[in-house]
Amino acid sequence: MKTIAIIAEYNPYTKGHAHLLAEAKKVTGADRVIAVMSGNFLQRGVPAMWDKFSRAKMAAQAGIDMVFELPVPYATGSARDFAEGAVALLDSLGCVDSLCFGAEDPNTELLERLADTAANEPADYSALLKTKLTSGLSYPAAQAEALAEYLSDKNITDILSKPNNTLALAYITAIKKRGSHLTPVPIQRIGDYHDETAGDTYASATAIRTMITEAKNVTDEIAGYLPAETIDTLSRRLPKKTLFDASLPGEDLSYLIFTAKCYRGIHGLSYAMADRLDKTDAPMSYREYVDVLHSKDTTEATARRALLHLMLGYTDEDRELFRARKDALFASLLAMRNEASDLMREIKERSTIPIIDRRAHDTKQLTELPYELRPAAERAWELTIRATDLYRSILFRRTKTLLASEYMTKIPHI
């Protein structure tokens, strides 16, 4: 049996995701598909429009055999952390053959060439990258320019200006750095990841979220861009279990910044960013805090991630703890198809990490890990619980709907 994997956010699961799934199975001849999905908070540092269990259920209903959560430190990290965490998790499951992903330019030969340079970091390339970063460029822009100059190919800058190409490079780089057995399989992406307007057949998740926010409902027009399984799940969750506002509570951030003064050492919040926070002299809204941190060398996504990490208490010290452990820490199940029980048995036989599919029972495995692994695993799980509780709090404040806690949520089995 051949098993492939897809890394995604499914916010929500769209016809574009269904196209990727179908093409990936067609290209690879795979029998089974595992997804690694961001939890309640996304790589852009914002809360998902729907909770992680609902989004995982959409994917399982649409044909994904099993959905595991990408742990919070990686799901809310840079593209490098996001990719490295996901690849490490898939490697640790012991049964995944290929990693499939969308790309605007699915040129495997070029992506492999770029990844060889990024993974091995030749001295001349490292010097170029450092110079670009020192000039004030964000890491993605600096990497693109350094690779283009080092490889003498001006087209690289344009290629890496496209978000899915950037993630594709990060995935292949992570595979090479780990010496992973995973085979990367880029698939032609349909449409623009950030396009807020819908096309004739496909619409990006961004466009769909915009339309749903405006309509406060799944209209016939919106339904045309969604698989039936997604429509079914969303229709029963609107509007009381939907976050139409993807922001963090400004009053809580103001408390942490003005009263607790605990933002030094927060991961992703640089000294320059902390200095800008020091200069704020009054409580502000979330949007205003993002604007304060956003600068030439700090993307808006970086600013949002830093503010989220502040609310979660995720520090540079935490990140070093996780990076010291090169492999994944655990695999937390979010949803699965009943017919995939044989796959779960195989994973439990081959996996090198604890598999958490029964929260209260299986998290005890973390306390039984070898001493040198336990602190990182327990801290990563603590951040998972914090993220769930923060999401529940935000949803309750805005909709008066209280989701079940992490331990009380029943894992969807389809």
Residues 356, 347: Cα–Cα separation, whole Å? 12
Tell me the per-residue pLDDT of 347-365, one tens digit each, with 9 for 90 and over.
999 999 999 998 877 788 8
Is 129 within the bounds of a domain?
A: no
Query: Are 241 and 261 in a shared domain?
Result: no
Q: How confident is the model at residue 200 (pLDDT cuts 50, 70, 90)?
A: low
Which of 275, 302, 319 terminates a domain? The answer is: 319
Which pLDDT value is given to residue 195? Answer: 56
Query: Are 235 and 169 in a shared domain?
Result: yes
Using the structure block, give the residue that is written with the tokens 């490292």.
126
Query: Are 312 and 353 in a shared domain?
Result: no
Which of 319, 340, 356 terminates a domain? The answer is: 319
> What's the average model confidence in pLDDT over 108-124?
96
> What's the average model confidence in pLDDT over 342-349?
96
239 cis-preceded (ω within 30 degrees of 0): yes
Selection from 27, 25, 30 nearest residue 1 by Cα: 30
Lowest-pLDDT range of 278-282, 342-346, 389-393: 278-282
Selection from 380, 350, 355, 375 nearest residue 365 by Cα: 355
Which pLDDT value is given to residue 359? Answer: 83
Q: How confident is the model at residue 47 (pLDDT cuts 50, 70, 90)?
A: very high
Query: Are 168 and 309 in a shared domain?
Result: no
Radius of gyration of the chain (CA): 21
Selection from 339, 329, 336, 333 nearest residue 383 by Cα: 329
Which of 319, 351, 370 terminates a domain? The answer is: 319
Q: Is 332's pLDDT higher than 60?
A: yes
Tell me the per-residue pLDDT of 16-38, one tens digit each, with 9 for 90 and over.
999 999 999 999 999 999 999 99
Q: Is 194's pLDDT higher than 70?
A: no
Tell me the per-residue pLDDT of 166-188, one tens digit each, with 9 for 90 and over.
999 999 999 999 999 999 999 99
Q: How confident is the model at residue 327 (pLDDT cuts 50, 70, 90)?
A: confident
Using the structure block, give the residue that is written with the tokens 């327990």.
378
Tell me the per-residue pLDDT of 79-102, one tens digit each, with 9 for 90 and over.
999 999 999 999 999 999 999 999
Residues 169, 160: Cα–Cα separation, whole Å? 8
CATH of the domain at 361: 3.40.50.620
Query: Are 338 and 358 in a shared domain?
Result: yes
Query: Are 359 and 298 in a shared domain?
Result: no
Which pLDDT value is given to residue 263? Answer: 76
106 cis-preceded (ω within 30 degrees of 0): no
Q: Is 199's pLDDT higher than 70?
A: no
Is 146 within the bounds of a domain?
A: no
Using the structure block, give the residue that is written with the tokens 């003064």.
261
Q: Is 393's pLDDT higher than 90?
A: yes
Residues 6 or more apart in contact with residue 239 via CB below 8 angstroms = 216, 217, 399
Residues 6 or more apart in contact with residue 176 via CB below 8 angstroms = 115, 116, 119, 120
Is 212 within the bounds of a domain?
A: yes
Return the DSSP state at 339.
G
Query: Are 405 and 263 in a shared domain?
Result: no
Which pLDDT value is given to residue 238? Answer: 81
Is 130 within the bounds of a domain?
A: no
Is 229 within the bounds of a domain?
A: yes
Query: Are 63 and 4 in a shared domain?
Result: yes
Q: Is 217's pLDDT higher than 90?
A: no
Which pLDDT value is given to residue 77? Answer: 94
Which pLDDT value is given to residue 190? Answer: 80
The per-residue pLDDT of the chain, averaged, comes to 92
Query: Are 182 and 64 in a shared domain?
Result: yes
Is 304 within the bounds of a domain?
A: yes
Is 69 within the bounds of a domain?
A: yes
Is 68 within the bounds of a domain?
A: yes
Query: Are 336 and 301 in a shared domain?
Result: no
Task: Report the number of distinct structural domains present in the chain.
Answer: 2
Q: Is 154's pLDDT higher than 70?
A: yes
Q: Is 269's pLDDT higher than 90?
A: yes
Residues 333, 336: Cα–Cα separation, whole Å? 8
Which pLDDT value is given to residue 128? Answer: 97
Query: Are 230 and 209 in a shared domain?
Result: yes
Query: Are 196 and 267 in a shared domain?
Result: no
Q: Give the structural domain span for 336.
A: 1-105+163-255+326-414
